[in-house]
């Protein structure tokens, strides 16, 4: 019994390379006793260790993809607006108002929240009040506006200055960076 018809004798030794290749392309025949195709050599895992490693790899990929999906649906509680933006230098200094809106878009109350606004360049920009603002509770679908005075310290050059807004909740930290553009007075 073999993969080829048993009526043809195996003459590989006497035939040329063309006939050997022709015999190799024949389809396997059905086993006459079991009436099933004979087993062809396919890919088999060499050991249980390889199977285990492939399963571990699949689980790790599922966890990574799930975490990426979770991060894409992370709520954004902060919105900020500078009025006016851009500002113009008057006698080498400038001021603006920053309004930060904290919006609870989650389906539960936010408790023990801390909102802080700080300049990235602390030598050129000042924020008043500089201390973090504490919010004890923010209800569902509740919005609160907070106002901050932003001003330059001494003489500054025109350009963009970054202001970092941070909202800390017991579960998460949200950060937003806003840019204040300062131009020369026309």
Residue 98 contacts residue 117 (beta carbons within 8 Å): yes
**Comparing C-alpha atoms, which of 108, 131, 123 is closest to residue 161?**
123
Q: Please tell me the predicted confidence (pLDDT) of residue 19.
A: 56
Per-residue pLDDT tens for 25-82? 555 555 555 555 555 556 665 688 888 888 999 999 999 998 888 777 766 677 777 7
| Token pair in block for residue 71 | 């991060």
pTM of the model: 0.56
Average pLDDT, the chain: 77
Q: Do 21 and 65 share a domain, yes or no?
A: no
Domain range for 69? 49-73
Give residue 93's pLDDT band: very low, low, confident or very high (50, 70, 90). confident
Q: Do 153 and 63 share a domain, yes or no?
A: no
Q: Do 131 and 114 share a domain, yes or no?
A: yes
Q: Do 85 and 156 share a domain, yes or no?
A: yes
On the question of pLDDT at 9 being above 70, the answer is no
The DSSP string of 98-156 is: EEEEEE--SSS-EEEEEEEEEESSTTTEEEES-SPEEEEEE-TT-EEEEEEEEEE-SS-
Q: Do 84 and 123 share a domain, yes or no?
A: yes
Q: Domain count of the chain?
A: 3
Q: CATH number of the domain at 150, please.
A: 2.60.40.10
């Amino acid at each position: 019994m073999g993969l080829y018809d048993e009526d043809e004798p195996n003459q590989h030794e006497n035939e040329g390379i063309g006939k050997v290749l022709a015999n190799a392309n024949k389809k396997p025949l059905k086993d006459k006793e079991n009436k099933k195709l004979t087993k062809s050599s396919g890919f088999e895992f060499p050991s249980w260790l390889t199977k285990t490693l492939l399963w571990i790899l699949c689980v790790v990929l599922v966890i990574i993809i799930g975490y990426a999906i979770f991060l894409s649906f992370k709520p954004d509680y902060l919105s900020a607006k500078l009025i006016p933006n851009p500002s113009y230098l008057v006698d080498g200094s400038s001021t603006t108002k920053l309004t930060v809106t904290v919006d609870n878009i989650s389906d539960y109350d936010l408790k023990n929240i801390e909102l802080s606004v700080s300049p990235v360049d602390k030598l050129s920009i000042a924020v008043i009040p500089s201390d973090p603002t504490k919010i004890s509770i923010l209800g569902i679908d509740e919005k609160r506006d907070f106002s901050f005075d932003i001003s330059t310290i001494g003489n500054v050059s025109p350009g963009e200055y970054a202001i970092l807004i941070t909202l800390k909740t017991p579960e998460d930290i949200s950060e937003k960076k806003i840019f204040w553009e300062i131009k020369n007075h026309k």
